[in-house]
Structure 1
């Protein structure tokens, strides 16, 4: 049998494990329909066995929430305004300080998820 090395990959594209790391023990589990449905929902794109192993060993990957499209658009708009201020400063050197303060407060509020803009932070 050829010796295992780091460059060989299994059919699924995962690197081959060293002999000391090979998983030779099998654990079987039976689930009812609702438990299986819950497993299918939680595992995402991981294989069932891989997800169960990672879950049992507390090695699940972090769950990243989906993108909040509305918040992203508002943040992009505020960032664009801030970028325009920076461009004006670099070009002219003449910008109303109150405008800069207001834009920075708005930008900060967008980052924090606040919907209120009163300009009182400065």
Structure 2
């Protein structure tokens, strides 16, 4: 790739009032970005990274552990042709527990 094409050598200054600056900082913090990177994304109509609420992130972590264990059992079964019914049952119970206890916020109706 040609480095001169991707080099950022054009600078634009923008003045914001206190409220606008605070909104920009909060939005950037929400997406874990620098304010300048956020503005670049918005100006270029690039998609912003997904913002995962902490509650959903905690549920995702819990479910991913159980899903990984189930995947290992499936892999073992595919390799050997045998799976421990007790292990599979225990993992399915744990996965069900994680699903039931996952606190997924409901979408608001518009």
User: TM-score, normalized by length of structure 1?
Assistant: 0.44
Higher relative contact order (CA 8 A, sep 6+): 2
User: TM-score, normalized by length of structure 2?
Assistant: 0.46
Larger Rg: 1
